Amino acid sequence: MANSPQAKKRARQNEKRFQVNKARRSRIRTYLRRVEEAIASGDKDAAGAALKAAQPELMRGVTKGVYHKNTVARKMSRLSARVKALG
């Protein structure tokens, strides 16, 4: 358990940051799920729109430190290839 005031403050900050990042991750997963559902339904227009909506959220996750840049690049690449293949 944290004993020094500095360690106690750091524990509080970590908990707050964890909650914020958890919400961000959840929000990004929701956008990804919408893309996956659109791909599964076979609707290319809906999938393209969902992908377009998901891209800024994913990039925001990178800038906020929730995801690594290459992870998001890989996800975007694979999703866009699957959307393109729907046609």
Per-residue pLDDT of the chain in tens (87 residues, 90 and over written 9): 678 999 999 999 999 999 999 999 999 999 999 999 999 999 999 999 999 999 999 999 999 999 999 999 999 999 999 999 997
Residue entry with tokens 């509080």: 12
How many CB atoms lie under 10 A from the CB of residue 58?
20
Residue ranges of domains in the chain: 5-86
Q: Enter the pTM of the model.
A: 0.86
35: helix, coil or strand? helix
**Kindly report the CA angle at 14 between 9 and 15, in degrees rounded to 5?**
100
5-86 fold: Methane Monooxygenase Hydroxylase; Chain G, domain 1 (1.20.58)
